[in-house]
Amino acid sequence: MPTLSLIYLGVVPTAGAWLLRFYILRKNGLVFQSQVAYLIPIFGLMFGYFFLDEIVTYKIIISLIAVLLGIFLVERSKYK
């Protein structure tokens, strides 16, 4: 039974995530999807800080500002 559960968890959620990814890609485009990928570390840092009491240094803050600035510049250039 554990093997069946492992196979299920390996196939069904993965397939669902891939289908969702391609749906978002078709609907919003590649640029949007890459921007979403840049947001993942930001949420990882926030969850680590709030739930695991990780330390946030000034280097991390500078890196996050650079990522957010890059996303802002790309989004701003779409509307010019």
- pLDDT, tens digit (0-9, with 9 covering 90-100), for 26-64: 988 877 787 778 888 888 999 999 999 999 999 999 999
Question: Angle 30-52/58-78 helices, nearest 10 degrees?
Answer: 150
**Residue 32: other Cβ atoms inside 10 A:** 15
- Encode pLDDT of 7-21 as tens digits: 898 889 999 999 988
pTM passes above 0.85: no
- Look up residue 15 and give its DSSP letter: H
